[in-house]
Chain A
Amino acid sequence: MKSEVKARPVNRSRGRRLGAFVFLSPGLAYLVVFMLVPLALLLSTTVFRRGRFGGVVYEFTAENFERLVDPLYLGVLVDSLKIATLTTLIALLIGYPTAYVIARLPRKWKTIALVAIVLPFWTNFLIRVYAWIMLLSGPGLVNSALKVFGLGPLEVLYTEGAIVTGLLYSYLPLMVLPLYAAIDRLDPQLREASSNLGASAFTTFRKVTLPLTMPGVLTGSLFVFVPSFGNFVIPEMLGGSKSIMVGNLIRDQFLKARDWPFGATLALALIVVLVVLLVAQSWVARRA
């Protein structure tokens, strides 16, 4: 590299700059026009008043942020956090042993098991949610099963439990894959050494396996948490009208209430929570 720059210094460096321009400018221009400008416009509306029929009136105000800390809206944010956290924890509890078993399978079965985990993820998202409406509703399979044991019928659809089930169903593969990648890389000799030195299975897991697979745990958790937290389709379809999450609130501000500034403020809150999590994740990952 260095000798070649010496051989034709002027020519190459000008070519480099032209090359950088040719390759980078179309994509970056697209990102600026269709992402950065829209985001800037969106977030700038948070400090303005709402227009009567959507849009924005350019008078400064803090009322959007005051409304955000209103217990009503703060409650929705806290509820969304709670639901997304619960989903992530359950996904971790089921996903970890699943990924662990897959990583220990013989090669041929490993591939099949992995493809089988990802397969449902490649089907239409709404179809997957629809399947759960069918299973959880009054005459659905869940209540039919309960009836066999002389139980029910239970009101399972349109509860927070139904939302968590739907989110878990949609995003479980995103938990298993990074966990699998982390566990698969683990050297089995480390666990052998640990148990040879007298550590119990649980101690080996806690002191060896878990710390070494922590990056996978963090990535998987983030992959499940992020789409769960901002989701509005699953809460709407499985949670009914009683329970709403921050995604529904944002959607309604834009399509029903026509209050862009407040909708944008809610979106800002969503982004802030996610950025805090990303920063925390990279901080923990660096320490681990």
Chain B
Amino acid sequence: MGYLAKLRVWRGNKERGELVNYNVEVSEGEVLLDVIHRLQATDSPDLAVRWNCKAGKCGSCSAEINGKPSLMCMTRMNTFNEEDEVTVTPLRAFPVIKDLVTDVSFNYIKARQVPAFKGPANLKLGEYRMQQVDVERSQEFRKCIECFLCQDVCHVVRDHEENKESFAGPRFFIRLAELDMHPLDELDRKREAQESHGLGMCNITKCCTEVCPEHIKITDNAIIPMKERVVDTKYDPLVWLGKTITRRK
């Protein structure tokens, strides 16, 4: 049942690179990462590719497949026509290191800039209590495998390198949303999201949601709720008045 797939793989480094054509054997039931591994084992032992679990849970094998950010291990070869070329490139929002491997350290820098959970001062560790409905709300965001496909596809940084300084990206907006929706977290995540992490730069075009392999509703359940919370905090005079009168925080 096998066939020869026509692959176009980007080969190169920081200085130069090109799309190189290969014909690689494909067996039934295989995913693109299997085929890339076969390419490594046969024609191109020096092909650089980052991978780990092969089960869509580690987020390592992110690449752009026919121009769409995807996980190679979750892309079944039977989703392509046998006669069609399949183009595989590294993530195009991040600096390339070699072949399909990019430097994603931008994301780790941004991760460090989000302050960790801060619980109430009068409770010690082990004394935190939450109801199930409150836990469930942020459970969706905990599914994130940090593949950074959402960061890669986000045009705010993908098309504007200069925005990387001031924009954290969808992965960290779900982190901020998770913390802001946590009943015990005491930091002001709304102002932080807007003023330090560039939430206002997002124009909610939903590409992050479209590429998420965990099907997290990043835009509807994290970014838009955070934008609405920012409106409460910064832009809505009636909410401000209500909070002032009732002395709510």
Q: Do A and B bind each other?
A: no
